[in-house]
């Protein structure tokens, strides 16, 4: 049997294979960030399709951290009931589901938050709005908000949480010298830039204990001038392991990284796939917790090679599972043709337009 279909344990969470549905902002929540039956159906479809672990789209831990309309929220206890319907539905299908906790920092949308975006430094965010430099009080409140969100996640029946510290959202902004120009204890060296992330992990552990999976998604590199580089990223990863993180999902890029963005296009040949493999391997060589690799994986042999060659322990897929939620069962059944996803990233548009994420190419072709 392929190693990809081995059963594994991640801090007590049993996973039936090594495939992960990468966090995908679905754009299917209510305007207040509540879950909806449509979102629950999408998760049920993924669980039915055989993926070992589902990671939800990024959920905002405070209202001020909201990035996009119809984004799922986890900022208030009133949201727990809706989230519980989601976890119950996935568990009924013998699936596992982790919620991605996020704050968009300087990428927050002021039209939604009615407030200035917060960031490590007062500078123009990628959306053209000037962010307000966070005070120590703002940092402490945000750290506590992540802790409270993790407690809600546990109460709602999630199997764990994943911190979104990638793609130039708040925690990634702190890690990146391109966005973090602070001169206090939260800026400068990688130890200082990682301080808020370590504090978030401590706040979460205080609220949920040791026996609850806490994952993190982070950039191996920003691919930005003056941005986070691989050596610092691996060092941050080591510190996070020491602080109690159970697994690291290695991604890369920001929305300002041009062609080297997190969701790259034009993945034609097998050699175009797994475009963060160098970064993942560097993490895997130096950090002794499970590594998840994301980014452009489309072929079964490529996925298998990544695990067999010790690049990563788990394989994370986003766009392929938008088009084919049943991809993992298809591969398991022996149909090993590559994912039908064409990686044009047009799926972002309906997600951001309140139509809910879907494969635009598939819909156009009427397939």
Interaction site with ligand FMN (CB under 6 A):
22-25, 57-58, 100, 164, 166-167, 217, 251, 262-263, 294-296, 317-320, 345, 347-348, 351, 357
Q: How far is the CB of 182 from ligand FMN (least distance, A)?
A: 24
Nearest to 355 by CA among 95, 38, 90: 38
Task: For residues 119 and 65, give the distance between their C-alpha atoms in angstroms, rounded to a whole number.
Answer: 10
Q: What angle do CA 307, 260, 225 make, to 5 degrees?
A: 120
What letters, b where the CB count within 10 A reaches 16 and e where it falls short, cover 133-157?
Answer: ebeeeebeebbbbbbbbbbbbbebb
Nearest to 73 by CA among 118, 35, 126: 35
Phi first, then psi, for residue 94 (nearest 5°) are 60, 30
60 is known as an active-site residue: no
Nearest to 241 by CA among 289, 286, 193: 289
Nearer to ligand FMN, 57 or 160 (CB): 57
**309: three-class secondary structure by DSSP:** coil
Nearest to 299 by CA among 277, 320, 324: 320
Q: How far is the CB of 93 from ligand FMN (least distance, A)?
A: 21
Q: How far is the CB of 185 from ligand FMN (least distance, A)?
A: 27
Nearer to ligand FMN, 198 or 302 (CB): 302
Catalytic choice (75, 169, 314, 358): 169
Nearer to ligand FMN, 182 or 331 (CB): 331
Nearer to ligand FMN, 210 or 266 (CB): 266
Mutual orientation of helices 80-92 and 136-155 as an angle, nearest 10°?
Answer: 50
Task: For residues 37 and 246, give the distance between their C-alpha atoms in angstroms, rounded to a whole number.
Answer: 31
Paired residues of 133 in beta bridges: 119
**26: three-class secondary structure by DSSP:** coil
Nearer to ligand FMN, 280 or 347 (CB): 347
Return the active site residues.
169
């Amino acid at each position: 049997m392929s190693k990809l279909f081995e059963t594994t344990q991640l801090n007590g969470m049993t996973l039936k294979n090594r495939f992960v549905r990468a966090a995908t902002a679905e754009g299917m929540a209510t305007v207040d960030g509540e879950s909806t039956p449509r979102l629950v159906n999408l998760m049920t479809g993924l669980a039915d399709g055989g993926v070992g672990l589902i990671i939800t789209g990024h959920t905002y831990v405070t209202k001020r951290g909201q990035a996009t309309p119809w984004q799922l929220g986890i900022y208030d206890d009133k949201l727990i009931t809706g989230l519980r319907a989601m976890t119950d539905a996935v568990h009924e299908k013998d699936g596992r589901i982790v919620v991605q906790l996020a704050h968009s920092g300087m990428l927050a949308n002021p039209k939604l938050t009615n407030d200035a975006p917060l960031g490590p430094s007062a500078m123009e965010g990628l959306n053209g709005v000037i962010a307000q430099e966070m005070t120590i009080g703002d940092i402490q409140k945000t750290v506590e908000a992540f802790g409270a969100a993790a407690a809600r996640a546990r109460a709602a029946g999630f199997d764990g949480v994943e911190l979104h510290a990638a793609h130039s959202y708040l925690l990634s902004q702190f890690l990146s010298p391109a966005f973090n120009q602070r001169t206090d204890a939260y800026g400068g060296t990688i130890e200082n830039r990682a301080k808020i992330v370590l504090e978030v992990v401590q706040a979460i552990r205080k609220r949920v204990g040791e026996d609850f999976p806490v994952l993190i998604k982070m950039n191996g590199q920003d691919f930005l001038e003056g941005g986070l580089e691989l050596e610092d990223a691996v060092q941050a990863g080591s510190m996070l392991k020491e602080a109690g993180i159970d697994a690291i999902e290695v991604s890369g890029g920001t929305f300002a990284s041009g062609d080297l963005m997190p969701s790259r296009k034009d993945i034609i040949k097998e050699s175009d796939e797994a475009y963060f493999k160098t970064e993942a391997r560097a993490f895997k060589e130096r950090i002794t917790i499970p590594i998840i690799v994301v980014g452009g994986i489309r072929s079964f042999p490529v996925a298998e090679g990544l695990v067999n060659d010790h690049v990563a322990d788990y394989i994370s897929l986003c766009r392929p599972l938008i088009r084919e939620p049943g991809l993992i069962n298809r591969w398991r059944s022996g149909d090993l043709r590559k994912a039908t996803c064409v990686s044009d990233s047009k799926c972002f548009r309906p997600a951001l337009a309140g139509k809910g994420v879907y494969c635009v190419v598939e819909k156009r072709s009427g397939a």
